[in-house]
Chains A and B, each alone.
Chain A
């Protein structure tokens, strides 16, 4: 393998990939970074078994000035290699691998020789046919991820709940996450009709992916194999391992009727809950009580912390219909849910004081549902 390239462009790609490389791992080769050079591009790969990232620099990229002399591949110790590249003099450097896996790096007057490992030893990431792709907008995908991972669990005791359940069926993508106390479900329409998938993706991977996705509405591609999920964007491929097991059936948990409905402005309501939670946090007793009286058109929130104090606030709302209700819940869950809606009006539907209640945006009710379980007070 032989090529030369502009350092800055290389480092940019390198940094992206290095995020996934762990310094301690059971599989020695994963402490290395894989460089693959084809006739069209240079690909950098890093992985920690759960997440793998391939970042490419194409020949036609003017910023990079990639000159391909000979194709090939090798694996170099990641930390050491990246330090070298960062400290090289000059704007460009060239790299050359020899038969014995030794790699030479030249820049200006300095010559580095690094011992590499054959790229054959590196894990083979799955390749999925193009026909099996799912396209959607980057910012939409980002939003979906951010709106669901908040509800995922981070306890190791039930590993399945640490993932987000993605199902693709009849042209629709459904993403569900729950930690058993609250649940978040998001549905978006897709432009394909014949692909079916049912996978669980670790929330940690999705959070990383969301960080890397661009903010624009450019299209990204999702491909799913039997054991990995891939996301293509911006000359990068993001791989995530899937979780094995059966995700609990959450569809039946979402109530489809409602006895009481409260419509509020998300931000205003959030502010009120925030105030109420001030008290509950003080006293280690993290519960607030909501009292709804549609007859008198009154909605109140009450927080109490023994020895600290209380808060009582009458709430503003857009509409309140149905039966009277008193219900208690953890304000932090409510806050997380409200945050995820952004600036909009939200409908909160209750059935009974001991059953979970839902939050949905006033328009597009079926696409985004947050579910929270209440607390039973004695």
Chain B
């Protein structure tokens, strides 16, 4: 299982928690922060396993006993894993969460509740969480997993113990990925090598990035047909919110590379077409290049505001053409 991986990826945290478990010093609420793929969920499960394991070694789970197996396969009745679907936690899930805060475990009083994407909790769910943290009952421990702290209510953050996932630096990641033969682009998308491999297999990402570079080259060539690319090349691959988010991420990475170009360093993520871009981009003034980057960086906010995605990209195309060619 990924058990071994997590120890390697988060040596500090696993050691810390193992120590807590051994000395039975777990508190009631933990907050784990880190980008997608940094191992928050694995860590939470690992700690849960450590608590329930029948043959723990210095607070670390063995991974083989019935408890560990059930926890890792999602079948332990006292390790509750809550993943809000969509944009916010549903009413059903909120009710479920509330009742879980108030009842004992099935097999013992010990219970672990893991709330993924905790920033999606509704006000009422957050309230019952607060109530619980202030007056915890029994031996229930909650793990809140978020991508970034500022998405959570400060009242909750102040009441939890905060842990940041350790992240390998970007250079390290890029190196590791390159060693594996993975496209460096993936290093910008996820910190987890497993996910990177998956994305490489799926091919959507790479295809999209290729089309993105082609589209941008057309813009640099003042070809208005770039506008048509949005509908013909992009939209067929972008059919749902997740894919939109992915594309936005690609735009962000691309803007980073443009900045690199602007200051004269090498492009990192889109290395394949780096040369072509370099040649073309140097023709333009720094101001223009920066304006283009700003335009690209504006897109995530617009997407969050639920603007029609195709419109968004088409508008972007026109704005970029105007920016470069006046």
Question: Does A299 belong to the interface (CB within 8 Å)?
Answer: no
Question: When A26-B82, A28-B74 are in contact, do A124 and B107 touch as well, CB less than 8 Å?
Answer: yes
Q: Are B137 and A27 in contact (CB under 8 A)?
A: no
Within 8 A of A (CB), among B134-168: 135, 137-138, 140
**What mask results when residues 277 to 296 of chain A are scored 1 for a CB within 8 Å of chain B, else 0?**
00000000000000000000
**What mask results when residues 47 to 90 of chain A are scored 1 for a CB within 8 Å of chain B, else 0?**
10110100000000000000000000000000000000000000
Q: A122 to B73: give the CA distance in the assembly, Å.
A: 12
Q: Are A27 and B77 in contact (CB under 8 A)?
A: yes
Residues on the B chain within 8 Å of A29, using CB:
75
**What mask results when residues 116 to 143 of chain B are scored 1 for a CB within 8 Å of chain A, else 0?**
0000000000000000000101101000
Which single member of A27, A124, A243 contacts B102 (CB below 8 Å)?
A243
Interface of A is mostly: loop
Q: Are B140 and A49 in contact (CB under 8 A)?
A: no
CB distance from B110 to the nearest CB of A (A): 9
Q: Are B75 and A243 in contact (CB under 8 A)?
A: no
Question: Does B217 belong to the interface (CB within 8 Å)?
Answer: no
Interface segment among B91-99, B245-253, B273-281: the answer is B91-99
Question: When A49-B106, A50-B103, A124-B107 are in contact, do A27 and B75 touch as well, CB less than 8 Å?
Answer: yes
**What mask results when residues 9 to 50 of chain A are scored 1 for a CB within 8 Å of chain B, else 0?**
000000000000000001111100000000000000001011
Q: Are B108 and A227 in contact (CB under 8 A)?
A: yes
Which single member of B95, B107, B138 contacts A123 (CB below 8 Å)?
B107
Q: Are B75 and A242 in contact (CB under 8 A)?
A: no
Q: Are B98 and A243 in contact (CB under 8 A)?
A: no
Question: Does A191 belong to the interface (CB within 8 Å)?
Answer: no
Question: Does A126 belong to the interface (CB within 8 Å)?
Answer: yes
Q: Are A26 and B80 in contact (CB under 8 A)?
A: yes
Which single member of B95, B98, B103 contacts A241 (CB below 8 Å)?
B103
Residues on the A chain within 8 Å of B103, using CB:
50, 202, 241-244
Residues on the B chain within 8 Å of A50, using CB:
103
Q: Are B77 and A49 in contact (CB under 8 A)?
A: yes
Residues on the A chain within 8 Å of B69, using CB:
120-121
Q: Are B107 and A241 in contact (CB under 8 A)?
A: no
CB distance from A318 to the nearest CB of B (A): 44
Residues on the A chain within 8 Å of B75, using CB:
27-29, 121-122
Question: Does A129 belong to the interface (CB within 8 Å)?
Answer: no
Please report the number of residue pairs spanning A and B whose Cβ atoms sit closer than 8 angstroms.
78
CB distance from B294 to the nearest CB of A (A): 45
Q: Are A26 and B96 in contact (CB under 8 A)?
A: yes
Residue in A26, A52, A125, A202 with the greatest tally of chain B CB atoms within 10 Å: A26
Q: Are B102 and A160 in contact (CB under 8 A)?
A: yes
Q: Are B99 and A159 in contact (CB under 8 A)?
A: yes
Q: A29 to B98: give the CA distance in the assembly, Å.
A: 22
Residues on the A chain within 8 Å of B101, using CB:
159, 244
Residues on the B chain within 8 Å of A124, using CB:
107
Q: Are A30 and B137 in contact (CB under 8 A)?
A: no
Question: Does A156 belong to the interface (CB within 8 Å)?
Answer: yes
Question: Does B90 belong to the interface (CB within 8 Å)?
Answer: no
Residues on the A chain within 8 Å of B82, using CB:
26
Q: Are B137 and A244 in contact (CB under 8 A)?
A: yes
Question: When A28-B74, A120-B66 are in contact, do A126 and B137 touch as well, CB less than 8 Å?
Answer: no
Measured CB to CB, the nearest residue on chain A to B66 is: A120
Question: When A226-B104, A228-B106 are in contact, do A244 and B95 touch as well, CB less than 8 Å?
Answer: no
Residues on the A chain within 8 Å of B76, using CB:
27, 123
Q: Are A241 and B104 in contact (CB under 8 A)?
A: yes
Which single member of A27, A156, A244 contacts B140 (CB below 8 Å)?
A244
Measured CB to CB, the nearest residue on chain B to A52 is: B106
Q: Are B66 and A156 in contact (CB under 8 A)?
A: no
Question: When A26-B96, A159-B99, A244-B140 are in contact, do A228 and B77 touch as well, CB less than 8 Å?
Answer: no
Residue positions of B touching A, CB distance < 8 A? 66, 69-70, 73-78, 80-82, 95-96, 98-99, 101-109, 135, 137-138, 140
The 6 A-B residue pairs whose C-beta atoms are closest, nearest first, are A244-B137, A227-B104, A244-B138, A159-B102, A123-B77, A121-B75
